Amino acid sequence: MPAIAGVRLATAAAGIRYKGRTDVLLAVMDKGTTAAGVFTKSKCPSAPVEWCRAVLKNGKAQALVVNSGNANAFTGKTGKTSTKLTGDIASKAVGCKPNEIFLASTGVIGEPLDATKFNGVLATLAESAGPDGWMDAARAIMTTDTFPKVATATVKLGKAKVTINGMAKGAGMIAPDMATMLSFIFTDAPISAPALQALLKAGVEDSFNAVTIDGDTSTSDTLLMFATGAAAAQGAPKITKASDIRLKPFVKALNVILNDLAEQVARDGEGARKLVEVVVEGATTKASARKIAMSIANSPLVKTAIAGEDANWGRVVMAVGKAGEPANRDKLSISFNGIRVAKLGARDPSYDETEVSNAMKNPKVQIKVTLGLGKGRDRVLTCDLTKEYVAINGDYRS
């Protein structure tokens, strides 16, 4: 992960929930950094989500504070007090206004967050923050994740090179709605806050919003993007509109990073052994295809069949039928990893169970459903559902 001009990182172990591991990330950004964000649509959002929504109106950022182990969600007035105290501590440590501080928390829901643990820690981190340490930062925000999730790209903006770095955390309680888990994107490109917001909102739809692990939208889903503008010194043009044609390579790279991180989240689904891609084509509209694909991806019966390496198309048919979208049983065709198992509403005449069973042993499984009704197409990512998922979530609070 390369350095991003105008971004400095540091991590620490503050003992938020677990001992002996880093659980706080501070990202310090140069003055003038613009910010964008999308958040959960949950009607029970966490205190940090509400904080970020409020400060995002300012469109500027100088620091991001992330803690793992405690989500500071469903914590009532105490949660709001904690975010205010954290914002105050961070603003003093960095030397900016509280409304230029962004906060994110992940972990257990319903437990009060002791923000006094940030006292001293954030000031030390602000002094020690440096341009490297991206992998350490990604590790500090992990909960049940089994590996840190990062992605990077370098592209031309005008005649200058700009860099985009991203990190994400998430393995369970994943069914995003406008954002996902916790994810943070940084760039040195000089892009205004309104333009950055438009790019992020568009990019999330077919990346993070097309991922589901267990069908549960988190109270804390947060995706933030920061643009320091430091590349302007190297000749990068200042962008004020998302429609600026000079942004085309940047947008392409941003979408690659968003999709890369989203796929890493799907691969790391709690207890998962297989990445599952669900493709629905021939639907009446793209929106209809998305709903059907999500119905398949969120079906425990489909996901357990994948875990058992069983190409059980009957469960796929069930998920298509319950989606409530236009479908015609007698036009339906289904394939697993490119092998068609059902055609026009019945088992494919050339079906070979041995061939299909061997294909199901692959670490990635594609389920393709062809509806034969129109040109609507979409795809979503998920994973299989294993005994380990139950074990992880049964033991999580203990």
Residues in the chain: 398
Give the C-alpha separation, 235 to 32, whole Å: 17
Instruction: Kindly name the residue from 180, 219, 228, 386 that is annotated as catalytic.
Output: 180
Find how far residue 362's CA is from the centre of its chain.
25
As a whole number, mean pLDDT of residues 229-250 equals 97
Amino acid 392: pLDDT: 82
Give the C-alpha separation, 184 to 223, whole Å: 6
Q: Letter for the amino acid at 312?
A: N
- pLDDT at residue 214 tops 90: no
As a whole number, mean pLDDT of residues 239-256 equals 97
Percent of the chain with pLDDT over 70: 97
For the chain, the maximum distance between any two Cα atoms, rounded to a whole number of angstroms, is 71
Q: Letter for the amino acid at 79?
A: G
In the chain, how many H helices and how many E strands?
A: 11, 14
Those residues with Cβ within 8 angstroms of residue 309's Cβ, 6 or more apart along the chain or in another chain: 357, 360, 361
Q: How far is CA 309 from CA 59, 359, 364, 385, in A?
A: 48, 9, 11, 11
Annotated binding-site residues read 143, 169, 180, 270, 393, 398
- pLDDT at residue 104 tops 70: yes
Those residues with Cβ within 8 angstroms of residue 56's Cβ, 6 or more apart along the chain or in another chain: 35, 36, 37, 102
As a whole number, mean pLDDT of residues 156-176 equals 87
Closest CA to 69 of 120, 25, 125: 25
pLDDT in tens, 18-48: 888 899 999 999 999 999 999 988 888 999 9
Percent of the chain with pLDDT over 90: 82
As a whole number, mean pLDDT of residues 250-278 equals 92
- pLDDT at residue 101 tops 50: yes
| DSSP letter, residue 236 | P
Annotated binding-site residues for substrate read 143, 169, 180, 270, 393, 398
What residue has token string 């400060």? 55
- pLDDT at residue 224 tops 60: yes
pLDDT in tens, 170-207: 877 666 665 557 999 999 999 999 999 999 999 999 99
**DSSP readout, 191-220?**
B-HHHHHHHHHHHHTTTGGGB-SSS---S-
Give the C-alpha separation, 359 to 309, whole Å: 9
| Winning range, highest mean pLDDT, from 142-146, 287-291, 346-350 | 287-291
E strands along 177-269, which residues?
Answer: 182-187, 222-227
Local confidence band at 390 (pLDDT 50, 70, 90 cut-offs): confident
Give the C-alpha separation, 272 to 370, whole Å: 26
Choice between 129 and 213, residue whose per-residue pLDDT is larger: 129
Closest CA to 297 of 282, 314, 275: 275
Amino acid 398: pLDDT: 45
Beta bridge partners of 3: none
- pLDDT at residue 53 tops 60: yes
Amino acid 7: pLDDT: 98
- pLDDT at residue 397 tops 70: no
Give the C-alpha separation, 143 to 334, whole Å: 36
Q: How far is CA 48 from CA 53, 293, 296, in A?
A: 9, 31, 32
Mind listing the domains of the chain with CATH numbers?
Answer: 7-267 (3.60.70.12), 275-395 (3.10.20.340)
Q: Do residues 46 and 71 touch, judged by C-beta distance below 8 A?
A: yes
pLDDT in tens, 278-328: 999 999 999 999 999 999 999 999 999 999 999 999 999 999 999 999 999
Amino acid 178: pLDDT: 56
**HSE-up of residue 275 (Cα within 13 Å, Cβ side):** 13
Identify whether 284 is a catalytic site residue.
no
∠ CA 222-179-294, rounded to 5°: 145
As a whole number, mean pLDDT of residues 356-375 equals 96
Q: Is 318 helix (H, G, I), strand (E, B) or coil?
A: helix
